[in-house]
């Protein structure tokens, strides 16, 4: 497995891979079994798999955890080696953003996603998905993959990227992979490391609420707003600070009509200081 820190090194390697199918898994590091599953999926569909590890400053808000986000490059590389990644690309900030001084976004080219990025997580994290779209666009330009693999846990992110790839004519196949979970049902996440053992046990309540809504939908309930409000109230009584619980269309995250059959239940909430997201697809 090769480890590169500069675009020059990466492109020199990839220039020697002409005719091979390139798979790509973008990450921010602090990897877990869910990330490894993305690499495994890419390995089954590509000749060469590139994994990026880059904590992207553009997608963090002013009071978010950019400075404290875990940087675990050696441990990440050890994991990636075991699942057969071919290349790890771990650039510095100035390699990704040559003119970015950490403050003045007016000097930085930003990829602005459509309205899809302004709802749900985008409503409470303004600018987040513009940061995601910008860094993914830059990474696509650097790696030039045929296939890129993303987890469905960040469902809205996956939808933003699919839309961006389609509208900007990237010609890259985007594969969404189902969320891996702890035995409790808790979605695997890099931010789970922030949780205390007690909080980690309690965090499974989020997915349990989504499952309750799923069961209600399968039993015929279509009062979406009431279902979500019941879930929010239950979580708040258990000590959560709820950002949203919502039911949307799988295809474009629009508000679904009562006869819609392909739905996704999405939630974001804070447990202590840790913001967790989760979702559950529903096919009625």
Distance CA 107, CA 105 (A): 5
Respond yes or no: is residue 35 known to be catalytic: yes
Residue 66 has which token pair?
Answer: 């950019």
Distance CA 147, CA 165 (A): 11
- The order of strands in the sheet holding 2-4 is 2-4, 87-89, 48-53, 22-27, 147-151, 173-177
Distance CA 244, CA 231 (A): 10
Kindly give, in sequence order, each residue whose CB lies less than 8 Å from that of residue 38, ignoring residues fewer than 6 positions away: 25, 27, 149, 150, 151, 177
Residue 93 has which token pair?
Answer: 């900030």
Distance CA 22, CA 28 (A): 20
Contact between residue 195 and residue 272 where contact means Cβ atoms under 8 Å apart: yes
Distance CA 104, CA 13 (A): 33
Distance CA 163, CA 25 (A): 18
Find the catalytic residue in 5, 32, 35, 219.
Answer: 35
Kindly give, in sequence order, each residue whose CB lies less than 8 Å from that of residue 9, ignoring residues fewer than 6 positions away: none
- Which residues form the catalytic set? 35
């Amino acid at each position: 497995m090769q480890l590169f820190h500069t675009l020059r090194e990466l492109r020199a390697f990839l220039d020697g891979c002409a005719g091979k199918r390139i798979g790509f898994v973008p990450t921010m590091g602090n990897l877990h079994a869910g990330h490894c599953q993305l690499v495994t999926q890419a390995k089954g569909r590509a000749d060469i798999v590139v994994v990026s590890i880059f904590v992207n400053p553009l997608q963090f808000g002013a009071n978010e955890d950019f400075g404290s986000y875990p940087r675990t490059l050696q441990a990440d590389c050890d994991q990636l080696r075991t699942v057969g990644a071919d290349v790890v690309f771990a650039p510095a900030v100035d390699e990704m953003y040559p003119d970015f001084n950490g403050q003045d976004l007016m000097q930085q080219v930003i990829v602005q996603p459509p309205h899809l990025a302004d709802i749900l997580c985008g409503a409470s994290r303004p600018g987040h998905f513009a940061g995601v779209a910008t860094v993914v666009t830059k990474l696509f330009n650097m790696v030039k993959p045929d296939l890129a693999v993303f987890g469905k846990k960040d469902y809205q992110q996956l939808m933003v990227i699919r839309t961006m790839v389609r509208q900007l004519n990237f010609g890259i196949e985007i594969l969404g992979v189902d969320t891996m979970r702890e035995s409790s049902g808790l979605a695997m996440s890099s931010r789970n490391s922030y949780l205390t053992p007690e909080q980690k046990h309690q965090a499974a309540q989020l997915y349990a609420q989504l499952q309750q809504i799923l069961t209600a939908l399968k039993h015929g309930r279509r009062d979406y707003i009431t279902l979500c409000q019941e879930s929010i109230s239950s979580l708040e009584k258990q000590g959560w600070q709820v950002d949203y619980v919502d039911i949307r269309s799988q295809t474009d995250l629009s508000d679904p009509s009562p006869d819609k059959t392909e739905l996704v239940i999405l939630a974001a909430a804070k447990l202590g200081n840790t913001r967790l997201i989760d979702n559950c697809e529903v096919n009625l």
